[in-house]
Amino acid sequence: MKKFLHEPFPVESSLHKFMDDHIGAEIVAGTITSKQDALDYLTWTYFYRRLQQNPTYYGLEDASQGGVDAFLSQTINDVVSRLEESGCVEVIDGFELEPTISSRIASYYYLRHQTLRHMRQTVKADSQFEDLLSILSNVPEYSELPVRCNEDLLNREIEKDVMYPVQTMESYISPHVKAYVLLQAHFARLPLPISDYITDQITVMDSAIRFCQV
């Protein structure tokens, strides 16, 4: 089974960390069609029970039923606002939720909604290959690419043999810089310095196929 950089359907104990994409997928599936549906959906999750058992962890100050309801309502409003900003949901009359083409693409290819926003904001009609390579390397999912001790030195060494130098304010230890040089190393068929980089390059290339569907 192919392993993605992040689980498309995270376990409920970490639902709050992936709430936007989880709710977005349910909107696409038709399970959620309104803010009220989204609120009702959350009450049937393990997250709802954990929220009451450990309110401080989730930032809930008022653990009364009214406080929990207000917290969940605000959570849904915030989620919908972020999805709307990414072009992944349309809000009708401030209440009904309609999926967009972007949300269907994100759901089908297991992409974060921030990736759709990133692509829409950065890809231009006159973007050159170097620009597109940089844009691809900076998708949010690549932030989870493992970066180990001294790999900044390896990234610098690979950069010497690729066509496009790193043009970013980020450190060479950045996972996005690593993705940038590993993509180019693949195009140039360069040998990689350590076995871990071979595994990482496979992950980068497999994931790039999904990102290019946007």
pLDDT one-digit tens code per residue, 151-176: 999 999 999 999 999 987 678 999 99
Instruction: Provide CATH 1.10.10.10 ranges for the chain.
Output: 12-108
E-only strand ranges, 41-184: 89-92, 96-99
**What is the per-residue pLDDT for 66?**
92
What does pLDDT average to over the chain? 90
Query: Nearest-5° angle of CA 125, CA 178, CA 120?
Result: 25
Cβ-proximal residues to 25 (8 Å cutoff; 6+ apart), any chain: 8, 9, 106, 107
Which of the following CATH numbers is that of domain 12-108: 3.30.1280.10, 1.25.40.10, 2.115.10.20, 1.10.10.10?
Answer: 1.10.10.10
CATH fourth-level superfamily of 123-211: Sec63 N-terminal domain-like domain (1.10.3380.10)
Instruction: Provide CATH 1.10.3380.10 ranges for the chain.
Output: 123-211
Across the range 29-52, mean pLDDT stands at: 93
Across the range 12-41, mean pLDDT stands at: 89
Higher-pLDDT residue of 77, 8? 77
> Within the chain, what is the greatest distance between any pair of CA atoms?
61
Residue 11: phi, psi to the nearest 5?
-65, 150
Across the range 73-100, mean pLDDT stands at: 96
| pLDDT tier for residue 16 given thresholds of 50, 70 and 90 | confident
